[in-house]
Structures are given as structure tokens and as C-alpha cells.
A and B are shown apart, each in its own frame.
Chain A
Amino acid sequence: MTVTEDPASPEQHTGDDTTAADSAAAASEMAAAGAGSTDTTPATDFGPEPEDDGSGQLHLLPRRSAVLRMSEVRAAAMIDGPPIGGENDQTMLVNMGPVHPSTHGVLRLMLELDGETVLRSKPIIGYLHTGMEKTAESLTFLQGPTNVTRMDYASPFFNELVFSMATEQLLGLEVPPRAVWIRMLMCELNRISSHLLSMATGGMDIGAVSMMIYGWREREVVLRFFQKVTGLRMNHNYIRPGGVAADLPDGWRRDVLDLMDLLPPRLEEYDILMTGQPIWRDRLQGVGVISQAEAIALSATGPILRSTGISWDLRRDMPYLAYDEVDFDVLVGSYGDAFDRYAIRLNEIRESIRIVRQIVERMPSGDYRSPDTKVTPPPRARIDESMEALIHHFKIFTEGFKVPEGEVYVAVESPRGELGCYLVSDGGPKPYRMHIRGPSFVNLQTMPHMMSEGFLADAVAVIASVDPVLGEVDR
């Protein structure tokens, strides 16, 4: 089956180039009108690049001149002006996105091209910015997960988890073991679905369109389990401060084990379709290379950091939940290229399957949420017989529970890297300030470095391999 799909790939490959050429042609109008950027006077609108005295990490970024420092206003104004680099200036400024099939949502890139080679680039973001951190300040701690779950919509459980863990740390609240293991189960399944999605969209970007179908198909099976547990495919609001919203449904073990039996053969198919396939390898190997030093200096986390060979995974290195009680391996690459990042994601699915099997085996019994009545709404049956339960129920849903003052930073390993939540409470029922450190947001900084001196078509592969979720980038 996969063999017959292979010929589709080169076709699609050329298709990609056409797209690039099209957008280049569209922008060449702009270039013809004088948008040619400069190579003599670096176009930085914001003052000079700071002096590097070698005491910091700046010298670890040899390609930092590949970061285009140009404001959108200036870029737009250049349409009418003469080429800065003189009449012979062949470079052009091309706009890619925000509406472009390969930009994973609404990422916009300002690219300075010389022919088909990317010289400098700048990610322009904010198209999905809805002020979710501001919104969080007007929602109670119990309502908070409904808000944060919409940030990284490909891995909503992690957002809920990090917010709930931060709240619990401020409260000093212990979560019952069953809730901890349910959280782990859902997060690992979510890691699988997120990586499947990443491979589906990544495959489509590079031309393996059949992977797009396969990835979405397998992800759908995982989401169907989520729907069974939480009622929703996405934006679950399932992990809440104090535990989880509901216990696992009857028959969950069978469902999960069926899923775990279904996936490995499918992963083998992906291996045939992509891993060993020459076109796939040619498109990814040696593309978007980033060094260890660069990855660290740019605060990259997740598969990007690990692809350079740095073994850093918060699940193992700063264990939370019960990750110190399960066996799994942290996967690292050796070249820091797009292929390593693809391979890490593919094999992290296998590791997650390993973890999920252990969770199914060892799932403790007991309560799925904290017995603390100040935080957890009482069971429905109690409300009929206890006035206190009714009052608690009413207070929790109208006013919310009060969280002692203080500030805390909690981080978890999301499929994209370190997902952090900085939470400040002033003793009230709503967060005084909630900040999410989105891994996609920080990882975007690596793009200009990876794209520099590469082809425009490779820039697409770089975007796919960084796997940004723009909902989380813009928040």
C-alpha cells in the first residue's frame, strides 16, 4: 500500500516548489517596485545589535545576522522606495503567510530571498492573540482550565495540567494517586495524538500527503477515547485543580489497550512510508540544522533541544506526577536536523505507548479528586442531604475558592517542550497574574537560524519540524 503511495511524493515535492515560486512571483511585484532589501546596511529598525563581549551566550549564535530586524511598517513602505542595495540588488522581501497551508495556522514569515535562498527571516506572530493571560485574571481558579486548554489546542491536557499543578502548589494541595495516574494517562495519550498530528501536517508540508491522511486517522481514534472520557474531542477542561473532572468510564482499560495494539503496526507503516524512504530523507536530512550551543542559547526545549543530542526531558529530569515510577527512555538525535526531530517524535509515540501500558497495569483505585471540600465540588448525591455540601457547591461555583497569596512557577514537558505556568495569587479566588511560557513561542526563535542559507522549500520543512501551535504562540 505504501509503495503505491510513494510516487505521489515526488509529484507533491514539485508541487511544493511551485507554491514557493508562486508566492515568490507574487512578491516579485513588490521587489520590482523596489522592495529589494540590503546587504550593505543591515536593515535593523531598532538600534544596533548589541556588542558581544563574549561573557554571554550571544557568541554561540554564529547565524544571528539571519534574524531580520525590520518592522512591518518599514517593509510595507519599501514597496514605493528604490532598492536600498542599488539597482543591481537581486534580493527580495517575500511575505509568507499568515494564510499559507504550510504555516501551521497563522504564522507569518518575512523572508529575505536571494533567488530561492533564504538570507534572513523574521517570524511575525500575534494573529491569534486573544489576551488569554488577561482573561485568566477575570476567571476563577476553577474556571482557569477552560481558558488555558485553548492555548495549545493540539495538546490541551498539558495546558490544563500545568495550570492545575500551579494552583495546587499555591494551595498546598495533595492530589490523590488515582488522579495523578489518570492525568498521566491522558497526557501520554495526548502526546501520542499531538505527535501524530505533527507528523500528519509535517508530512503534508513536505509532500507525503498520504501521511496527512494516516496521521489524522490515527489521531481521531485517540480523540474518540478522549471524547468518551471527557465528553469532548478537544478543549476538555478535564484536569482541574484538585484532580480530574470525572473518573474513567467503564471499559476504559479495554479501550486503551485496543488503542495500544492498534498503534504499533501503524507506526511500522509510517516507517515504511517515510523513515526509510529516500525522498523523505532527502527532504529532511541535513535541513534546518541547529547546534547544541545554539539550541541552548535560544532557550529551545522539547524535540528541538533533544535533536541536538542534549538529553533533557522534564519528565525524567525534574519528575512531576508519577513519572519517576514508570520506565521510559528519553530520545535524542545526533545531527540536530529536521529528520532527527521527525524521528524523535515518531519514537516518542512508542515511548508513550510504553508508559501508557504501565499506567494501565498500575492504575490505583480510589478517589479521582481531592477530598478537600473547599476545592472540590461535593458529589451530586451529597447536595440532596447536606446543607453544608449545598453551600460549598454554591460557593465554589459562584465565588470560587480562595488561593493563598504567593507566586509559583511550574513546568511540564509538553509535546513541544517546556510548558510553564507562572501564577501569582493575592489571596483571592482569581489569579492575580497568570503567565504561560509556551514552548512553541520560544522555539519560534530558532527558525531564522535554521532557515538561513537554505532553500525556500526547506523553510517549509523547518516550520514543520519546529511544529509550532500558533494558538499557544499567540495566546
Chain B
Amino acid sequence: MTDAATESDTEAPEPEPEVSKDLAYGALVSWSRGQRVIHPSREDWLATAKTLLADGWNMCVDVTGVDYLSYNAERDLPPGIEPERFEVVATFVSHSRRERLRARAQVPESDPSIESLYVVYPGTDFLEREVYDLMGIAFVGHPDLSRILMPETWEGHPLRKDFGIGAIPVQFKAPSANTHR
């Protein structure tokens, strides 16, 4: 399953090793529960997507973000990838090979932005807006980078780990003298 998908100069990665030093599409490869993950750098994000499209990954089905601010375990990144607070995760599908591939890019807290995949995979339009809205990662080159789920005037990015869950006081539940008596 990996032969056709690898165009790197090193040999094709085997599904077995947990962390492989192999390269695919110029990025380090790791395996997560049997799923292949590539780790392109933030600078190569768009270029990698172009390579992927040219290699038959004809649909980008998902783009999401993760905030690793309070992650309590060791990050499962291949050696050589510097962990950052944010991660942008995209999932690609090849209809002809019936395969999936995931790409994860590290995005630093100091500059939460990454290139938009809109030009290569226009289907990422809404997905990138969602990540921008909820995670606060800017997608450079996106034609309509605006909030999509939260109100336009909302402040903050709810899916960030430092954004509290919060509570709205409910009007008719103020404790009275008889409550809990």
C-alpha cells in the first residue's frame, strides 16, 4: 500500500516501525495506530499539498487544529520535528488507491498562521475557516478568513485550551433560603 505513495529518494516506509526515519513528499513519516502521518514543516505546507495533489491524493477531506498547551504526555513526533503549541492536521484521500494520508504541521504560539490550502484544495474553505474561528490559526491566502460558527463579533477562540468553558448564570436558579433544606 505504500509503494505508489512514496516518491522520496529513500526506500518506502514499512508499516511496522512506530517512528520511521523515512521521508515521504519531503516530510518525515510516522505511524499512528497503523495510519500514515507525514510531518511537513509550516513553510512547506502549501508546497507539500501541491506535491500530494500531483501524486493522486485528489481530495482533502479534513482540516483541523489541535492546541497542545496542556498535553500531559510525550508528543508522538518523529525525531527532528520541534513540537509547538498548535498543530494543523489535514487528511487526504486518494480515490484511485483507496488510501488515506494525514499531514500534521507545527504552528508556533508566537505566530499562529500557516499557508492556506484553498488554491490547491478549494474544499478546505469552510474547514480552514472553522479552525481559524475556533482555534485562532490564520490561514494566509484564504479568500474569506472570517468566523464561521461563532458570531462575527466574538472575542477569543473557544477551542484553545486557555479558553475557559465558562458558564452563564441561569435566571431562575438563584439559591433561596429553602434551597437544599
- Are B95 and A57 in contact, with the CB atoms below 8 A? no
- Are B33 and A408 in contact, with the CB atoms below 8 A? yes
Contacts of A48 in B (CB 8 A): 143
Q: Does A298 contact B (CB under 8 A)?
A: yes
Q: Does B19 contact A (CB under 8 A)?
A: no
Contacts of A72 in B (CB 8 A): 152
Contacts of A56 in B (CB 8 A): 49-50, 53, 119-122
CB proximity to B under 8 Å, residues A409-434: 409, 411, 418, 420, 422, 424, 426-428, 432-433
- Are A134 and B61 in contact, with the CB atoms below 8 A? no
Contacts of B144 in A (CB 8 A): 44-46, 67, 69
Contact among A300, A424, A433 with B123 in the assembled complex (CB-CB below 8 Å): A300
Q: Does B28 contact A (CB under 8 A)?
A: no
Range of interface residues on chain A? 35 or more
In the bound assembly, the distance between CA atoms of A48 and B142 in angstroms comes to 9
8 interchain residue pairs of minimum CB distance: A299-B123, A56-B120, A405-B73, A126-B149, A437-B62, A129-B149, A435-B64, A426-B73
- Are B33 and A428 in contact, with the CB atoms below 8 A? no
Contacts of B108 in A (CB 8 A): none
In the bound assembly, the distance between CA atoms of A361 and B144 in angstroms comes to 52
Shortest A278–chain B CB gap in Å is: 35
- CB pairs A–B below 8 angstroms (8 shown): A45-B144, A56-B49, A56-B53, A126-B150, A133-B134, A433-B66, A437-B91, A441-B127
- Of the 9-residue stretches A7-15, A310-318, A368-376, which lies at the interface with chain B? A310-318
Shortest A176–chain B CB gap in Å is: 20
Shortest B165–chain A CB gap in Å is: 6
Contact among A61, A133, A474 with B159 in the assembled complex (CB-CB below 8 Å): A133
In the bound assembly, the distance between CA atoms of A52 and B149 in angstroms comes to 28
Q: Which residue of B lies closest to A424 (CB)?
A: B66
In the bound assembly, the distance between CA atoms of A409 and B49 in angstroms comes to 19
Contacts of B76 in A (CB 8 A): 405-407
- Are A126 and B151 in contact, with the CB atoms below 8 A? yes
- Are A442 and B35 in contact, with the CB atoms below 8 A? no
Q: Does A265 contact B (CB under 8 A)?
A: no
Contact among A44, A310, A427 with B72 in the assembled complex (CB-CB below 8 Å): A427
CB proximity to A under 8 Å, residues B96-125: 98, 100, 102, 116, 118-125
Shortest A438–chain B CB gap in Å is: 10
- Are B151 and A47 in contact, with the CB atoms below 8 A? no
Contacts of A172 in B (CB 8 A): 33
Interface string of B35-59 (1 = CB under 8 A from A): 1000000000000011001100011
Q: Does B148 contact A (CB under 8 A)?
A: yes
Contacts of A318 in B (CB 8 A): 98, 100
Contacts of A445 in B (CB 8 A): 123, 125-126
Contacts of B120 in A (CB 8 A): 55-58
Contacts of A52 in B (CB 8 A): 119
Contact among A317, A435, A442, A475 with B61 in the assembled complex (CB-CB below 8 Å): A442
- Are B122 and A57 in contact, with the CB atoms below 8 A? yes
Q: Does B71 contact A (CB under 8 A)?
A: yes
CB proximity to A under 8 Å, residues B121-161: 121-127, 130, 134, 141-152, 158-159
Shortest B161–chain A CB gap in Å is: 8
Contacts of B50 in A (CB 8 A): 55-56
In the bound assembly, the distance between CA atoms of A405 and B89 in angstroms comes to 17
- Are A50 and B143 in contact, with the CB atoms below 8 A? yes
In the bound assembly, the distance between CA atoms of A50 and B144 in angstroms comes to 10
Contacts of A406 in B (CB 8 A): 32-33, 76
Contact among B119, B151, B165 with A58 in the assembled complex (CB-CB below 8 Å): B119
Q: Does A307 contact B (CB under 8 A)?
A: no
In the bound assembly, the distance between CA atoms of A195 and B45 in angstroms comes to 39
Contact among B59, B100, B102, B158 with A131 in the assembled complex (CB-CB below 8 Å): B158
- Are B35 and A408 in contact, with the CB atoms below 8 A? yes
- Are B33 and A441 in contact, with the CB atoms below 8 A? no
Q: Does A297 contact B (CB under 8 A)?
A: yes
Contact among B71, B102, B123 with A298 in the assembled complex (CB-CB below 8 Å): B123
Q: Which residue of B lies closest to A474 (CB)?
A: B149
Contacts of A57 in B (CB 8 A): 53, 120-123
In the bound assembly, the distance between CA atoms of A433 and B69 in angstroms comes to 11
- Are B66 and A46 in contact, with the CB atoms below 8 A? no
- Are A411 and B148 in contact, with the CB atoms below 8 A? no
Q: Does B67 contact A (CB under 8 A)?
A: yes
Most buried by B among A48, A409, A411, A426: A409
Q: Does A301 contact B (CB under 8 A)?
A: yes
Contacts of B143 in A (CB 8 A): 44, 46-50, 69
- Are A426 and B33 in contact, with the CB atoms below 8 A? no
In the bound assembly, the distance between CA atoms of A347 and B54 in angstroms comes to 35
In the bound assembly, the distance between CA atoms of A149 and B49 in angstroms comes to 33
